Chains A and B, each alone.
Chain A
Amino acid sequence: MPEEILLKMKNINKDFYGNQVLTGVDLELKRGHILGLVGENGAGKSTLMNILFGSTVIKETGGFQGEIELDGQICNFESPFDALDAGVGMVHQEFMLIPGFQAAENIMLNRELTKRNFWVDVFGERLSSLKLDEMVARSQKAIDTVGVDLNAKTLVSEMPVAHKQFTEIAREIDRENTKLLILDEPTAVLTESEAEIMLSVVRRLADMGISVIFISHRLREIMQICDELVVLRDGKLVKEVPTKETNPDQISEWMVGREIGSGPAREKTRNTIDENEIVLKVRNLWVDMPGEHVVNVDLDIRKGEIFGIGGLAGQGKLGIPNGIMGLYPAGGTVELHGKKIKLNDPRFALDSGMAFVSEDRREVGLLLEEPIDWNISFTVMQTQEKYLKRFLGGLIKWRDDKAIAKLAQEYIDLLEIRCTSSRQLAKELSGGNQQKVCLAKAFAVRPDLLFVSEPTRGIDVGAKQLVLDTLHQYNDKFGITIIICSSELEELRSISDRVAIVSEGKIAGILPPTAPLKEFGALMLEA
């Protein structure tokens, strides 16, 4: 096998509307090598691969700067079709297959083997007949190359997930010219034994001379099959090393380590935590939230603490608050102040003194079409019957618009919500100000226990700090116990008293915020 360079990416820069996501990334890949690409969510892995694959999303958002050289030729892919022609294949995280078609039909899609017939002479190429037998035979060959036991005539809709994954790979290698294969988290949906087969398939492809870029959150897999490894963090390439020269601990440190402020920054003005009083007791909680399943959650939250829940996206951390607040099907026992909480009933959770700031600001957190004052007052009005005037002995509960406006104005001043008035529609606010409205809505309920999910997602740096400060302040001043879920570990460490890490739908461990980064990394990556 010649040790020649197949792919060179030079000084890749990309921004989305001024938000820099990739800065000066250089990358090299030798023929027949497997390159592991690791990094936290939002580190820029997907963007980098989209650039390489010529995805239209890159072009629509203003293109990128830098140079890509494939097989010694400078390429500038206008679309995935160009990339495919040049020999780059990609297997996406989400399956791109037609469920009602056989494996063979999917593999040969748009490259069908055809033969001429009478109608072609009349109407043209589009009416050629398919040579189904040959297509099946050729697909079967591709599948056999992958090395799995799968009949090419099986319908995709009837396959287990692993086989769908293999069908996608078979499709990519069936293209005769495929030189480079991008695998975006191919093992994420597979069981352990399926993942093993998957890895051996990838190894075999590499031995056939196809280069592979392998994206995974599972460091063990990376260590097992990759020749080299590249770590991205905040859009920068922080490390490029041969896998042999490193270990998972080191990798996780590279991944999560920040250049600035690596220690917990927070200091409580007074110690509000009551070690002995358990506010919330969770036992055997399971939550069926799509994409964020969790099982066997046991937690004891102490009064007055800020409890962080971290972990990578899709691992299940968001399931915990959503389940306890009754928004997604859940089971197990949850006790607030020793009182059992009825699950799957948002009203009960709210009445018990809990409040929730959802991670999904636009879909769950806000009434976008309604003014700020409605947004802030609605929950407290509906659950606690405040801001209502009563007539006819309480038969008619009239909305007190004046009181609502006053309440909204209080929070607008307190949280510095930038708006024209309390009657401005929520959809007209910026992300940060929308988040403040969501917080105000939760504060207005005056909860004992506040769940905050991804409070800083999609808002700018200044607003981020203000949101975190506000949470800190409410915890400190009013003794509200806060459970905060975030994908940003740094943020959790800066604000929380304890941090739990959720990985693969389970709580992997609970650490003090002062614990070294690599311990957090290890829990996140189940290495």
Chain B
Amino acid sequence: MAKLNAKIPEGTIHEKWTNHKFSIKLVNPANKRKYDIIVVGTGLAGASAAASLAELGYNVTVLTYHDSPRRAHSIAAQGGINAAKNYPNDGDSIKRLFYDTLKGGDYRAREGNVYRLAEVSNNIIDQCVAQGVPFAREYGGHLDNRSFGGALVSRTFYSRSITGQQLLLGAYSALSRQVGLGKIKMFTRREMLELVVVDGAARGVVARNLVTGDIESYSAHAVCLATGGYSRVFYLSTNAMNCNTTAIWRAHKKGALFANPCFTQIHPTCLPLHGDAQSKLTLMSESLRNDGRVWVPLNPGDKRTPGQIPENERDYILERKYPTYGNLAPRDISSRAAKEACDAGKGAGDTGQAVYLDFQDAIKRLGKKVIEERYGNLFQMYELITAENPWNVPMRIYPAPHYTMGGLWVDYNLMSSIPGLYVLGEANFSDHGANRLGASALMQGLADGYFVIPYTIGDYLAGTKFTPVKTDHPEFGKETKEVTDMTKKLLSVKGKRTTDDIHRQLGRIMWNKVGMARNKKGLQEAIKEIRGLREEFWQNVNVPGSAEDLNQALERAGRVADFLELGELMAVDALDRNESCGGHFREEYQYEDGEAKRDDKKYSYVAAWEYEKASKWKLNKEALEFEYLKPTVRSYK
């Protein structure tokens, strides 16, 4: 268990981070340039980390599989970013943001981490404004705020419905500046395929040049993975098409523990499915729930158009079930309410797999102009995809896999169980427990990159005696061979099924049995089915093309190979956790009214899985202790 020391600093909760910053070792400014750091991924966490580390003087190498850092999927976040500024004077504070986040995560996150997140949230807003990020303003020139799910205060900063884009472009600007100054070496169209571990510590990565097919080696004193989440394991998700688990999964197989893999977030406000050729699900910002009302027909099987259903035959499910939070109930709860209604035959539209999100009352109350200002581009986007006009007909929405709270296990310093391997942003498991609140992903990504890693990585670098390791070290040769062999293997199967076909099947297994509601029998079946499918993949996949040039089919195949392993671990983890909490809902564990039944006596721990061999993991537990907020039944009623 020694390796599961979370290293939470001593002191009262509001002193921990301050004390820690004082006690950690510093690297002499003149020595920083002697340290090489690799950052993989250029979303909010990766770009902000790379820029901040380069500003400090470290030699930074950045890898991304995109053609530009700006394409990372952080760009698609619409709604906003939380901070405890309390500008609206509505009762917010660092403590309240801490409380909301910990409660929102259903008490499955660490107090120390969450408090630090709330503490640095305000610095993030200051930093982004200084970079020229155009947050929405009031007429007096001050910053504007809006509300998000799971909170009773307005603490979300936003830029129209493009907040993620604007924040990422801010971090990307900072990154570009360092590239221009020569402090960052930027390698685009490179996909990390192996972590290189020398004498037990992370010393580099092996990556494929996606244009030439060359397998390249990069050495360093420390490696930061900021490679995002793994919702694409469900095939259909809100994630971008290239999002994958490969970087963290291959690090996991090198010894990094994978924590809480079954904690996945199903986002309530996505567009419903349209057909078999569908490649992804489109998210509509949660901010819509500020003014939109969620309802379904009161009577099962009511197939009238929404306009024909009178007020007294509508069931405003969230307002009825959760009067205090109403339409702003957290994501896991709202998604389950939608599923429950559809399962009861009250689903909207032809498919019955949707609920209405209705703006008529808000338009009456506030006028079309205000709604246009707030959500204009979301309304447009909806109409573009569905060919329905949300100004006249209520939107139809349905939950979709979105964010993964699970990820590689990290300690308070964001270091994984492999010394020198840091994991940032969605790729780690640290701050959101079993459910993430809206507008908190941007906050965590930037907190990790701008304000945590620049401090904590120095402690490791200053306190470690390094032996020189360059890319001619035999470990690089070994990993290069491993990657080359796998590539050859993928190309040589020449079976009958495409990668996407197998991926779709995996997605169906995951959605039906490891999705919004899980049970023991389904999970056991899922494990068996995933193993079978994995076997079939390696015998029957057909990957055309060559290893020596741009080959998107090959890229997809490698990623799906990893999803086929991760999917099994997600089911194993869900099966182990005999309780319901946050996004993990086990049908066997619920109260009579259908609310999640947590079991703090038995499951107040982080499940950190250690890879032993295929289909075999060892469970390590990190106990969660709550000193400041005693876990209670999480109620939004």
Are chains A and B native binding partners rather than an unrelated pairing? Answer: no
Q: Which residues of B contact A (CB under 8 A)?
A: none
Q: Which residues of A contact B (CB under 8 A)?
A: none
